[in-house]
Structure 1
Amino acid sequence: MITVEHLSKRYGDFVAVDDVSFVCKPGRVTGFLGPNGAGKSTTMRIIAGLTPPTSGSATISGVPYRDIPNPATQVGVLLDASAQHAGRSGKETLRLSAMTMGLPASRVDEVLTMVGLTPSESSRRVRNYSLGMRQRLGIANALLGNPQILILDEPVNGLDPAGIHWMRMLLRDYANRGGTVLLSSHLLHELEIIADDLIVIGNGRIVAHGPKDELLAGVGTRVRSGDDAKLGRALAAAGFTLRDAEDGGFHVEAEPEQVGRVALDNQVPLIELRAGDNTGLEAMFLQLTAQTQREPINQGAI
């Protein structure tokens, strides 16, 4: 289990992580998401013992990473697939890791097979690897010590659709066997498929966390009216984020009572008004991080 309590990290006057607390449980995949610069990577680096916190704590099964004996046998970490020695072959990279951990050489072949790197590919220099191959090698390194916890930052970058599916199945099976997974990704669709729990961070602070199904249930409001164009303009003017629904009307990032009040004030007759069904992780993400996005969010057709 990963436990983060009141974690903060400052760089001078800049606060990268601000009083962050969460728990990642065994047997579950925890998706960690937020806009660029929100504090995800800094938090993961602190958990993995690479960056000291300014205050608070991050522990693995109750122990800071730096105090775990032979930590790679307890925690598998992949934070940057490009940070691998370019002059070594993939197999040499894993052999050195295995020697450091005191593992038999046979474990190297096992994980190479597990991640789908062929003998020919594992004999190549890492400088000649594609990004997808580097990701597979990084995952192999993370799995080498047969750890109970995985911490992965953007592990599907560079993978083709088949590779993404493979990664999804690998992590799902790992969690189903009792492992703990903390997974950061910008591919919201993948997190929506694989994650059991979600942590959303913005400007260094947690803005939402909990079971995925609970967070996504009833996101926003579904509304249709007798004059959708007028209603769209009114909702946008009121500052609500909305997007067109396939069968007319809108999905609105607001409570039904708020949407109904705008319609009433603008004398727009409503055909449908209800709490939104699961409108998806993207809608929830945009709603929760609207104040921390670099790009302006479309407020709907006006």
Structure 2
Amino acid sequence: MITVENLTKRYGGYTAVDDVSFTVRPGAVTGFLGPNGAGKSTCMRIVCGLTPATSGRATVLDRPYAALPNPGRHVGVLLDASAQHAGRTGREVLTLGAVTMGLARTRVEELLDLVGLTDAEAGRRIGNYSLGMRQRLGIAHALLGDPEVLILDEPANGLDPAGIRWMRTLLRGYADQGGTVLLSSHLLHEIEVVADELLVIGRGKIVARGPKNELMQATGTTVRSTDDPAFERVLADAGLQSVTDGDGLRVSADPAEIGALAARHGVVLTLLAPAGSAGLEDMFLRLTAADAREEVPA
């Protein structure tokens, strides 16, 4: 469990995090979304005890991170995969972590195998690692102490498609066994696939939160028929707005309502589904438009 209460962080006259409160529950993956500079990394650093808050409180397992005994045994953290000693080997980094936490050396080999780093790769200096290899090593280090909580910032960065699927499966299994996962990512599709709950931050404030399914329902429905222009007129007559996208029509209503309307008018549907990634992207861009560096069209 992660609990954040009225968290604020100011740097001089700039407020990076503004009275933020949220809870990350066990047994779930919580996706933490926000544009660059919105405050999500600052929040995660405060939770991990790396940045002091100006006011408010953040606890992990009902304690501030710094008050946890042997914190690596309780909380696994990956905030920057590049922040690893370039002159050490992957095996050395994990071995140092194991010794610090009081773990058996055999745990190092277990984790190297789990994250898919070979003996040869584990023996190479980290300065010669690709970004994807650094991510795998960082995830191994986060999991080293078999923690109850994982806090991961952009863990899929640099991973190839097979690596992203591997990470998704790993996190899903971890949460299904009762673990708590706070996952930040710019890859909206990955968040959509793996997350149970969503937090969206913009300009230092939480602008949306809740179960993914509930938030995604609000993004509408994608529908395709044998005659989309005719069905657009049916939708308009029913007072429903629709826009054309690459998959068909996007409608601001739930699938059951759209299906019932089509049935009443004898319309043959070839696709009827929640808006999915496109809907999540639209919701994200709409809620965080004030924070975006690029202009977001209305």
State the TM bucket, normalised to the shorter chain: 0.7 to 0.9
Contact 1:18 1:204 in 2 (8 A): yes
Contact 1:218 1:278 in 2 (8 A): no
Matches within 5 A, 1:95-244: 95-219=95-219, 244=244
Matched, 1:278 2:291: no
| Deviation, structure 1 residue 249 | 5.6
Deviations 1:197-219 (A, max 9, x none): 00000000000000000011032
Q: Given residue 284 of structure 2, which amino acid in structure 1 is its aligned partner?
A: F
1:156 to 1:222, Cα distance in 2 relative to 1, 3 A: closer
Contact 1:198 1:211 in 2 (8 A): yes
Task: State the alpha-carbon separation in 2 of the partners of residues 96 and 247 from structure 1.
Answer: 51
Instruction: State the TM-score, normalizing by the size of structure 2.
Output: 0.84
Task: State the alpha-carbon separation in 1 of the partners of residues 222 and 175 from structure 2.
Answer: 34
Q: Given residue 175 of structure 2, which amino acid in structure 1 is its aligned partner?
A: A
| Structure 2 gap ranges (5+) | 233-241, 254-266, 268-272
In the other structure, the counterpart of 1:265 is none
Deviations 1:37-79 (A, max 9, x none): 0001000000000000000000011100000000000000000
Structure 1 runs (4+) greater than 3 angstroms displaced: 220-226, 246-253, 276-279
Q: Work out the percentage of aligned pairs sharing the same amino acid.
A: 64
Matched, 1:36 2:33: no
Q: Given residue 107 of structure 1, which amino acid in structure 2 is its aligned partner?
A: R
Matches within 5 A, 1:51-90: 51-90=51-90
Contact 1:94 1:108 in 2 (8 A): yes
CA RMSD of aligned residues (A): 2.2
Contact 2:34 2:202 in 1 (8 A): yes
Report the 3-state secondary structure (helix = DSSP H, G, I; strand = E; otherwise coil) of the residue aligned with 1:22.
strand
Contact 1:91 1:123 in 2 (8 A): yes
Task: State the alpha-carbon separation in 1 of the partners of residues 249 and 145 from structure 2.
Answer: 53
Q: Given residue 290 of structure 2, which amino acid in structure 1 is its aligned partner?
A: Q
1:251 to 1:37, Cα distance in 2 relative to 1, 3 A: farther
Matches within 5 A, 1:259-298: 277-279=274-276, 280-298=279-297
1:249 to 1:212, Cα distance in 2 relative to 1, 3 A: closer
Contact 1:222 1:252 in 2 (8 A): no
Higher alpha-carbon deviation: 107-116 or 216-225: 216-225
Task: State the alpha-carbon separation in 1 of the partners of residues 218 and 134 from structure 2.
Answer: 39
Report the 3-state secondary structure (helix = DSSP H, G, I; strand = E; otherwise coil) of the residue aligned with 2:291.
coil
Task: State the alpha-carbon separation in 2 of the partners of residues 247 and 105 from structure 1.
Answer: 52
Instruction: State the TM-score, normalizing by the size of structure 1.
Output: 0.83
Deviations 1:153-190 (A, max 9, x none): 00000000000000000000000000000000000000
| Deviation, structure 1 residue 278 | 3.3
Q: Given residue 297 of structure 1, which amino acid in structure 2 is its aligned partner?
A: V
Task: State the alpha-carbon separation in 1 of the partners of residues 143 and 249 from structure 2.
Answer: 48
Task: State the alpha-carbon separation in 2 of the partners of residues 21 and 247 from structure 1.
Answer: 37
1:248 to 1:175, Cα distance in 2 relative to 1, 3 A: closer
| Deviation, structure 1 residue 15 | 0.3
| Deviation, structure 1 residue 252 | 6.9
